[in-house]
Structure 1
Amino acid sequence: MKERILALTAAVATVVSVGAAGPAHATPTGESATATVFFPNPVQALGLQSLVDAKDADSPAFAPAYRQVTLTDLDGTGKLSGRYVVVKSSTGKAALAVDGAFPAWHRDADQFEQVMAYHWVTTAQRYLQHLGFGSALRPVNQRRIEVRIDQYGGDNSFFRDDKANITLGKGGVDDAEDAEVIVHEYGHSVQDGQVPGFGTTLESGAIGEAFGDYLAVAVTSWATGAPARTPEACVADWDSVSYTSTVPHCLRRLDGTKHYPESVVGEVHADGEIWSRALWDIRVALGDTRASTLIVEAQFAFAVDTTFAAAAQATVDAAQRLYGTQAAKATRAAFVARGLL
């Protein structure tokens, strides 16, 4: 199974309107414009495990997967530049809005992936704000990051902590065509924003990969509704068709059976599935809002080289502080079940 690698030093990594939208208009946080995206990817949207990349070719099979959305927080330049993200691409002309709308590009146009990156990074930040970060709780990653589209030729994406930017590769299915790949990488940015340089050891790096997977599922389910046509716990259903042969296609899953320490293999993506299963179980027990809030809040207490055990205890402490004894017990039980406490 192909694995997504963070290949750089310590990076070892308004609710957005989704219905039919009108012309651009001023909002309290900036400008907005209509655009077309996958919502979150065509495999989830259509339930078709047989879709193939075919070198970026568009086809009628993809037509029902496209969705018109409203991009928010734009800076008014007409470009994909806004409060939380600026998009850069070297393989095609920069996307430009015309009369308050970006053209309805499809996957055979480089600009489609540019739009995808802008929309889903902004959606991820709006999800965090929906949880209370930046209002009832301290802000999380409310900085303007750069996302580079198709500037890496391999089937890989990564967050670069020294420049606080994300690169989305173009091997296989272009990574920016799958919202869960985009949000996974944004998860690394979130943790770096909370604990600069986070992820310097195998265990902390595994926690980083697991959180990216968890955030990818949480954000896309919140934005679109839990996918009914594919397993919710399956991460990156569309991107993974290029390198998996089993069905359903998944980069990784949140509901695996790995257990510490016997399942540890010394690779951050594989070992991260131990941590992500614990996060998944917390979400099942407490619901998305409470689980995701305490999971993110706990990360402020992590060290750059945190261990599984220390991070698990910090997460239990956050549950106790935010929601009381019963939530703390459920959180502890999830980590105990994985051998992490």
Structure 2
Amino acid sequence: MKRSLLALAAIWCAPLQAQHLIYPLDTPAIDNSDDALAYVQARYPQTDRLALRGTRQSLLGTHYHFVQQHASGQLCEGAIVVTTDQHGQLYRLFNHLVDNADDCALNVPLPPRPHTLLIPPQGDIVQTTMTVFDPDPRTATGRAIEADHSDVDDIVIPAEAYTTVSGVEVTRKDGRLYLSNDRVMAIDIQSMTALEVGPQQGLVTVADGQPFDFTRQFTAFRDVNAFYHLDQSLQYLASLGFTGERALFTAPLKMDAQGQSTNNSTYLDDVSILSMGVGGVPDSEDADVVLHEFGHAINEMLIPDWKGGDTGAIGEGFGDYWAGAYSFWVQRHRNERFELDVFANWDGAAGAVKSRRSLHDDDARYNRDMDYRAHISVAGTLGDELWSTPLFQTLKQAEAVYGEAAFDEFNRVVIEGMAGMGYGMKMDDLARSTVDAAQRLYPQKDYAQWLTARFHHHGILNDTVVLAQATSALAVTRPNVTDVSVALVNDSEQPLAALSAQLSMPALNWHQQVQATQVMPGAVTEVREAIQLPASLQCGEAIQLTADITVTQNTAQTSRHSQQQLNLTYGVPILSQPLNVLNAALSDARQINEGGKILLGESMYALTVPAGAGQVSDDFGIQLSVSHPRFSDLRVEVRTPSGRSFPLMTYHSSPLTEKTYTYTQKNTPALSALVGEPMSGNWVLEVTDRVTGQRGTLKSWGIGAVTGYDCGDAETVQPNQDNTAKPDNQGTSGGGSLGVLSLLFGLTMALARRRPF
């Protein structure tokens, strides 16, 4: 006998955020900005006063940037970007239009600030040699040369830290060589409003025929080093295809390597000048900092209105990535690479002020309802690292598989991903665009797949509809029958016109088609079914539940597809050690002062395994049963008696509020890292909550060898089965015999939609 129930429950949430990226089904030819304007005005209200902000060409098409205008003629924050493909067909829209342009927030560009500059003269372009750090003295030598010196001037720079480069283009005029060519120009800022102007070094020159052979004891080295790295990066950008109509820089980039007296560097977008700071370690000595600031220039040139949304953190993260990618390239042939996952290896490591950023923050998690500004932490995550980490870690993965070719290919993907973005973009917008660029540029390679996985890990990309189950075990509720309860949750902030999912468990010979329409945000489509177990199924066997999901936002847009999988086991695992049943309230994070400083909520629970228990082997398992309204707040890890830690949960979101899971090598292969650890001694479960406002409960946890599985057969149940907690939802199936596609509208699952604090 088979019983099934499919129910749809709408759980209302906060006001919806607008969807920015739109892939329309209707893709007419658009040959110019007038065509693009006509298309938008025919389909969207409040667009009668659109002004063209700029037109950009990229590797995959053309992007027309429009901005709404207030009745006064001033520019609004509302904007829209029309993107066509290489054949002139409409491909995508980035929609950030406001509902009422007559009452809009203004986005008035700042006028160029008053300033005076000393610039090199025009002359002949010739080639010369230079002495530089490539990329910095620590990375070049592969060691920490600063020792314990707090004064950077006391650090002895070994000769091998310097590199002599040749063929560098400079300008020759009246027997002197100047740091200037068609791409970059070293200037001296004489005065500038709202800038703490640095030393007046003048123009760094040498006699014709002489090299720019300075070391860091000479302040001229700062100009030479920054000039070289900017020139190389500009040439590299052109080599990626951003030249001609696609060129981002159509005039020499002005740079003052000693432009600011502070320990800070800035790309001054109002005057298009890159100004480097000289406080602490002079920033121009570290190619990471030079190229980071160049990253800001790329942002501004690629997107005419780089403002709002998450652009602050994205810009910082991209700059860190661009710098890190070059340091990686320099070390590509080394057997041991020096501090690869660190930004500002020299500037941030030497001297009295030490501040480096990571390119490998695995714990960083995204919350779309928050704005990520530059250098600001949100819920324990620094936005700069949140964006740089998935990019840089994917680059490392790509290089490991595809070799040197990955550098150029993946850098094209990252830059092309930004093309066509506009005012107010969020990280998830740019993540979708970057994955899209990877699929279109390199469909035969795995860049898109790897990026998707990284963005999912950090919560930047999430499946619109999430497949979820509260337990990892398929319990046997009646002879040869298991009750499956699976939830499909609209985890987005937007209603869906339609949802279709093909569910499958081949091991159980079970397949089910699920369809629903008008699915509201937070709505739960639940499939509950009693399934007859095949006689060939082995107790403890690994079971895979897959879902091929298609969602349609509305009938005017293309559908989106995803494939998701749950790893389950047939039968409830039985552990050799008793469970620690607690039902204890977990500590919530709390704000401790008016400045917003957060004190982490920390909970620790000990479990003692008596002597003689042996070592962790391949059959080891960890069971955890916990409830929380917002699992993205939590990090849960187990510490072994020897002091090693193993993460079970790392701030990953879940549409459900209950989780009962037994981690084994079958469903968590990384658990093999604990094999050989002593079982006897004190095991500790540590739960860290880094966001205020929600509190959960630890129901039980335990460790031990998996001695068997409770599959409902007396012959397979082990003597210590009573020590193993059963999943909370292993009860009977729903009542009433209904067709699997019957929809019951109402609240049938007590699931609280997780909301940001």
Query: Shorter-chain TM-score category?
Result: 0.7 to 0.9
SS in 2 for 1:317: helix
Match of 2:451 among 331, 334, 337: 331
Answer yes or no: is the 8 Å Cα contact 1:154–1:170 preserved in 2. yes
Q: Over aligned residue pairs, what C-alpha RMSD do you find?
A: 2.8
Q: In the alignment, residue 69 of structure 1 is paired with which amino acid?
A: V
CA distance in 1, matches of 2:219, 2:155: 12
* Residues 284/151 of structure 1: CA separation in 2 closer, same or farther (3 Å cut): closer
Distance, in Å, in 1 between the alignment partners of 2:441 and 2:290 is 29
Residue number in structure 2 paired with 1:38: 133
Aligned counterparts of 1:83 and 1:224: Cα–Cα separation in 2: 29
Cα shift at 1:221: 3.1
Q: Structure 2 counterpart of 1:274, which letter?
A: L
The one-letter code of the counterpart of 1:80 is L
- What residue in structure 2 maps to residue 162 of structure 1? 270
Q: Which residue of 1 aligns with 2:242?
A: 133
Q: Give the CA deviation at 1:294.
A: 0.6
Structure 1 runs not aligned, ≥5 long: 1-8, 12-28
- Taking the aligned partners of 2:458 and 2:439, their CA distance within structure 1 comes to 20
Q: What does 1:164-313 correspond to in 2, within 5 Å?
A: 164-198=272-306, 200-201=307-308, 203-223=310-330, 225=332, 228=336, 230-242=338-350, 251-257=356-362, 258-261=364-367, 266-269=372-375, 270-286=382-398, 287-313=406-432
Q: Is the 8 A contact 2:259 2:277 kept in 1?
A: yes
Contact 1:161 1:197 in 2 (8 A): no
Other-structure match for 1:86: 185
CA positional deviation for 1:104: 1.6
- CA–CA distance in structure 2, aligned partners of residues 53 and 76 of structure 1: 40
The residue type equivalent to 2:387 in the other structure is W
Q: Is the 8 A contact 1:316 1:328 kept in 2?
A: yes
The TM-score with structure 2 as length reference comes to 0.38
Distance in 2, Cα, partners of 1:111 & 1:311: 39
| Alpha-carbon offset, residue 72 of structure 1 | 2.6
> CA 1:301–1:211 in 2, change beyond 3 Å: closer, same or farther?
same
Sequence identity, in percent?
A: 28
Query: 1: distance between equivalents of 2:216 and 2:396?
Result: 34
Q: Which has the higher helix share?
A: 1
Q: Is the 8 A contact 2:136 2:161 kept in 1?
A: yes
- Work out whether residues 141 and 194 of structure 1, in 8 Å CA contact, stay in contact via their aligned partners in 2: no
The offset of 1:153, in angstroms, is 1.3
Q: Does structure 1 conserve the Cα–Cα contact (< 8 Å) formed by 2:360 and 2:389?
A: yes
For normalisation by structure 1, the TM-score amounts to 0.81
**Which stretch has the larger CA shift, 39-48 or 319-328?**
319-328
CA distance 1:43–1:186, change in 2 (3 Å): same
The alignment partner of 2:207 has SS state of coil
Deviations 1:270-289 (A, max 9, x none): 21211111111331333322
- Pick from 37, 44, 54 the counterpart of residue 151 of structure 2: 54
Distance across 2 between alignment mates of 1:118 and 1:203: 30
Query: Is the Cα contact below 8 Å between 1:260 and 1:338 reproduced in 2?
Result: yes
Q: Could you say what secondary structure the match of 1:33 adopts?
A: strand
How far apart are 1:113 and its partner, in Å?
0.4
How far residue 164 of structure 1 moved from its aligned partner, in angstroms, is 1.0
Confirm or deny: 8 A CA contact 1:125 1:142 kept in the other structure.
no
Instruction: Provide closer, same or farther for how the CA distance between residues 43 and 292 of structure 1 changes in structure 2, counting only shifts above 3 A.
Output: same
SS in 1 for 2:425: coil
The one-letter amino acid of 1:339's match is G
The residue aligned with 1:21 is: none
| In structure 2, C-alpha distance between the alignment counterparts of 1:166 and 1:30, rounded to whole Å | 22
Output one character per residue of 1:261-318: Cα deviation in whole Å (capped at 9) or x when no partner: 29x7954232121111111133133332221111111111211321111111111111
For the Cα contact (< 8 Å) 1:31–1:73, is it kept in 2?
A: yes
SS at match of 1:72: strand
Distance 1:127 1:223, change over 3 A: farther
Structure 1 residues 195 and 226, CA gap change in structure 2 (3 angstroms): farther
**Quick one: distance in 2 between partners of 1:55 and 1:266?**
33
Deviation of 1:120 (Å): 0.4
Code of the residue aligned with 1:327 in structure 2: it is: Y
The structure that is strand-richer by fraction is 2
SS at match of 2:267: strand
1:73 aligns with 2:169: yes
Report if aligned partners of 1:175, 1:182 keep a CA contact under 8 Å in 2.
yes
Deviation at 1:243, TM superposition (A): 6.6
Contact 1:47 1:230 in 2 (8 A): yes
User: Per-residue deviation at 1:250?
Assistant: 6.0
Q: Distance in 2 between matches of 1:319 and 1:276?
A: 17
Instruction: Name the counterpart of 2:435.
Output: 316
Separation of aligned partners in 1, 2:459 and 2:389:
11
2:447 partner letter: A
Q: Matches of 1:244 and 1:267 in 2, distance apart?
A: 27
**Shift of residue 334, structure 1, vs aligned partner:** 1.9
In 1, Cα distance between the equivalents of 2:161 and 2:442?
A: 38
Aligned counterpart, 1:108: 217
Provide the secondary structure at the position in 1 that maps to 2:320: helix
**Residue identity opposite 1:79 in structure 2:** Y
Deviates most, 265-274 or 287-296: 265-274
Q: Distance in 1 between matches of 2:277 and 2:237?
A: 25
